[in-house]
Amino acid sequence: MDKWVVHKFGGSSVADASCFRRVADILEASSNPREAVVLSACRGVTDELLGLVSLAERPDGNIAAAIEQLKSRYEMLAEELLSRPAYEAYRTLLNKDCRDIAGVLQTVRLIRAATDSMRDVISGYGEIWSTRLYAAFLRERGRIPGEILWIDARQVVIVEWGPLGPAVQWSESERNLRQLVPENFQGRLIVTGFVATTTTGIQTTLGRNGSDFSGSIFGALLDAAEIIIWTDVDGVLSADPRLVPNAQVIDQLSYNEAMELAYFGAKVIHPQTMAPAVARDIPIYIRNTFAPHKHGTLICTHPVSALKVKGITTIDPVALVNLEGAGMIGVPGTAHRLFGALHDAGISVILISQGSSEHSICFAIPQAQAVRAEEAVRRAFDAELRDGQIQHVDVGLGLSILAVVGDGMAGAHGVAAKVFNSLGNAAISVRAIAQGASERNISLVVDGKFAARALRAVHAAFYLSPNTLSIGLIGPGTVGRVLLAQIASQVERLRALNLDLRLRGIAGSNRMLLEEGAIDLERWPQRLAEGGEALDLDKFVAHCQADYIPHTVIIDCTASAEVAGNYRDWLARGIHVVTPNKKANSGPLPAYHALKEAARAAGTHYLYEATVGAGLPVIQTLRDLRETGDDITRIEGIFSGTLAYLFNVFDGSESFSSIVRAAKLKGYTEPDPRDDLSGMDVARKLIILAREMGLTLELSDVEVTGLVPAALSACDVEEFMRRLPEYDASMAAMLAEAGRQRQVLRYVGRIDADGRSSVGLTRLDAKHAFANIALTDNVVRFATRRYCDNPLIVQGPGAGPEVTAGGVFADLLRLSAYLGAHL
């Protein structure tokens, strides 16, 4: 006989009419002759039914209206999915059920309290309604051969509730099922999840989220080949995706691992689901209804996986009760009395920890049981508390348990170290620890406020490359845009080297784009246009510094002093900064020192190679010289690509003003050419180098001789351009004079070890290194103790988006290397 396959669809998979169709598509795609389909209630319905009971317990709520509302949801659903006659038949049964519900609620209202069994009866209707509708819908679609048989699990599954939850009475349940389903059945069983009957014949449920358990009970009863649990995520994830957005699908899990994860809070599967499958070795798959092509997670006896840690979960809120006293040392039976008392009070203990000194013992319980637990403990140790053998019973509230689960942890070295290291780095203290002898689970108690951060930190330690960088880019303009294209071209290669660069935020001048995973480096302009929001720099930075990603870097590609004003704060907060923006380093000296100090104190990196000479290795060269003990005597050079160009071209054949005009048209100058001609840009670069040399100079200390005539310094750009020819004659005269001496004109910046620094137009011998440069070349000459007779020269194109972005990218890679990447 063909083997059964059992499917279970959760509430999220049957939320509305389109979900019903999707589920039907999945089932109709299978050619298996017999399958069982366990369904949950439509999303939210169980909560609503329980809400009805609470409403009835209050004197004022309008029960009839609430029932009507719920009923109309199903009527609408049925109307959309069924033909008229099938709809009418469905509605008749629905009406009857609603009358029954109203009757029970009336009783509740009279006695002002619902019994457990009343609650069970009412909360189970969601599954009855969804399955009845689904069976009718599948029958009408008629695409599955064989019979579509509706099964009310209350007539099959018999359980006995005990301290460990509902225990299935297997032989009785099997007998029941055999009476409903003939041996040679072909087709589909549509089965209600969640509901069951007690051995005394009273309707019950399997507990919240219990349809998963129903799925595996039916899997076992039918001796299925496999059980597939369909939900709204791609499988069991390494952590709750609502708390850890980059949680990853776990390929395979053992039954025990799955059970531990479920018990410790992974809501995706009910902890009791595994037991029936283990006994018969039935594989369980967790798959996504909304992405049925994905393979999901396989839960089985011998999973194949290289991962030591499979998942990390949290449970909260919990309370931690600590019992402390010298009188407990070496006294047998204390634990017995303690846990006996808790058991008598019906309290379930989640975690226990006792130091080997036996001086204290602590345990974690659901916070809702804290008051009762404390009373029970105080009662049990009343005498010891009075005579001081036990000094304290403390109850800590608002805590969380973090559990790290994986079979591979047993016997592996360093797993616990990694857990505690990552918590230490995230500045989270651990209140209690427990590791079972199986070593499948390390559980710790942390302050609830930090639970999400703790989870993310531990998750990152096990699941991310330690070289994962969250990147925020401010200023996607000329340089920023090219930088993103350069990163895009290398990102895959770098990932193969274990460097994971994730652009998670882009901020323009008034809009920004934030993404949780990573922004598509090819499509960011469209994404920014479509999905962007109004700029809020604080929000931007907070987003980029996601605590589940090991490192954050902000790349500032603006020229804004305001943005640069934030570096200090960012560096102090643990964010690295990379920038071609000169404003911070050439601003007031105290602010510069504060910036450097903030980076030093926080252990963050601040990199700005592209502030001088664009991509040329100027700052790094200077640093290398100094750090290896060389002394700089003078740095001299041409630091402006624009001015280099103007004087390279200015040979007398054309007036200076027309060269400026042409350069402006080609975009070689700033929109206002005076920003170049004033020499201030060169002075800023000199200051950056001076400070790098250890000099304490301010911008005002640089002697700047600019090329903007005083009379034209205040007018607007148009007037400036119009009147510039008035000065052509004097420029031509200077050029002619230089020519007579076999010299050329160059705009040079110079800085000496004693701090003297100047910027201005100079006449240089035609054979001088600075005389023979091409186009926008920058040239920087380092005269040092080692390089004295023949100085060290760095030369090459010193302007333009490609080379500037290249310089910024090189800094980004340098940063990654500092953080441990092996490139």
The residues that touch ligand ASP, with contacts defined as CB under 6 A, are 10-11, 40-41, 46, 126, 193-194, 208-212
Q: Residue 232's binding partner, choosing from ligand ADP, Mg ion, ligand ASP, none, with beta-carbon cut-off 5 to 8 A by kind?
A: ligand ADP
Report the half-sphere exposure of 199 (CA within 13 A, side-chain side).
11
Cα three-residue angle 417-419-423, rounded to 5 degrees: 115
Instruction: Say whether 565 sits in a helix, a strand or coil.
Output: coil
The distance of closest approach from Cβ of residue 474 to Mg ion in the complex, given in angstroms and rounded to an integer, is 42
Q: Name the residue nearer to ligand ADP (CB basis): 311 or 679.
A: 311
Rounded to 5 degrees, what are φ and ψ at 551? -135, 150
- The torsion angles phi and psi of 558, rounded to 5 degrees, stand at -95, 180
Q: Is 75 in the site for ligand ADP (CB under 6 A)?
A: no
Residue 215 binding ligand ADP, by CB under 6 A:
no
Comparing CA positions, the residue from 761, 777, 735, 744 lying closest to residue 645 is: 777
Minimum Å gap between C-beta 9 and ligand ASP is 10
Q: How far is the CB of 268 from ligand ADP (least distance, A)?
A: 3
CA atoms within 13 A on the CB side of 313: 22
What distance separates the 2 farthest-apart alpha carbons in the chain?
117
797 binds Mg ion (CB under 5 A): no
Kindly state whether residue 126 participates in binding ligand ADP, applying the rule CB under 6 A.
no
Of 83, 78, 81, 113, the closest CA to residue 94 belongs to: 78
Whose CA is closest to 686, among 632, 744, 745, 765? Answer: 632
Q: Say whether the peptide bond before residue 332 is cis (omega within 30 degrees of 0).
A: no
Q: Which is nearer to ligand ASP, 208 or 785 (CB)?
A: 208
Is residue 273 near Mg ion by the rule CB under 5 A? Answer: no
Q: Quick one: what does residue 126 bind among ligand ASP, Mg ion, ligand ADP, none, with the CB cut-off 5 to 8 Å set by partner type? A: ligand ASP
The SS3 assignment for 431 reads: strand
Residue 246 binds ligand ADP, judged by CB under 6 A:
no
- 374 vs 394, 437, 615, 689, CA distance in Å? 8, 28, 67, 67
Query: In this structure, are residues 449 and 533 in contact, taking their beta carbons and an 8 Å threshold?
Result: no
- Collect all residues with Cβ–Cβ distance below 8 Å to 635 and sequence separation of at least 6: 622, 686, 689, 693, 750, 751, 780, 781, 782, 783
CA 510/CA 772 separation, integer angstroms: 43
Q: Could you tell me the smallest distance in angstroms from the CB atom of residue 267 to ligand ASP?
A: 10
Tell the smallest beta-carbon distance from residue 216 to ligand ASP (Å).
12
Give the C-alpha separation, 289 to 605, whole Å.
45
Distance from the Cα of residue 654 to its chain's centroid: 59
User: In terms of CB distance, is 126 or 806 closer to ligand ASP?
Assistant: 126
Compare residues 46 and 579 and give the one whose CB is closer to ligand ASP: 46
Contact residue for ligand ADP among 78, 217, 227, 239 (CB under 6 A) = 239
Shortest distance (Å) from residue 6 CB to ligand ASP: 15
Q: Which is nearer to ligand ASP, 193 or 800 (CB)?
A: 193
Distance CA 189, CA 34 (A): 8
208 interacts with, out of ligand ASP, Mg ion, ligand ADP, none, CB within 5 to 8 A per kind: ligand ASP
Helix (H, G, I), strand (E, B), or coil: what is residue 776? coil
Q: Does 152 bind ligand ADP (CB under 6 A)?
A: no
Strands 777-784 and 632-638: antiparallel
Contact between 228 and ligand ADP (CB under 6 A)?
A: no
Nearer to ligand ASP among residue 40 and residue 400 (C-beta): 40
Contact call for residue 210 and Mg ion (CB under 5 A): no
Nearer to Mg ion, 43 or 568 (CB): 43
* Active site members: 685
* SS3 call for 235: coil
Applying CB under 6 A, the site for ligand ADP has a residue count of 19
241 binds, among ligand ADP, Mg ion, ligand ASP, none (CB under 5 to 8 A by kind): ligand ADP
**289 lines the binding site for Mg ion (CB under 5 A):** no
- Interaction partner, residue 236 (Mg ion, ligand ADP, ligand ASP, none; CB < 5-8 Å by kind): ligand ADP
Nearer to ligand ADP, 316 or 752 (CB): 316
Bridge partners of 34, per DSSP, are 187
Residue 41 binds which entry of Mg ion, ligand ASP, ligand ADP, none, CB below 5-8 Å type-dependent: ligand ASP
CB of 211 vs ligand ASP, minimal distance in Å: 3
Interface pick for ligand ADP out of 5, 45, 63, 236 (rule CB under 6 A): 236
Q: Residue from 207, 241, 327, 796 that binds ligand ADP (CB under 6 A)?
A: 241
Write out the two tokens for 82. 């069924």
Distance of CA 767 to the CA centre of its chain: 59
Q: Which is nearer to ligand ADP, 242 or 785 (CB)?
A: 242
DSSP per-residue codes, 640-691: -HHHHHHHHH-SSSS-HHHHHHHHHHTT-S-SSTHHHHTSHHHHHHHHHHHH
**Cα separation, 237 vs 296, whole angstroms:** 10
Q: Of 30-38, 229-237, 509-517, 785-793, which part binds ligand ADP (CB under 6 A)? A: 229-237
Picking from 177, 223, 181, the residue whose alpha carbon sits closest to that of residue 197 is 177
Contacts with Mg ion by CB under 5 A lie at 10, 209
Contacts with ligand ADP by CB under 6 A lie at 10-13, 40, 209, 231-233, 236-237, 239-242, 266-268, 311
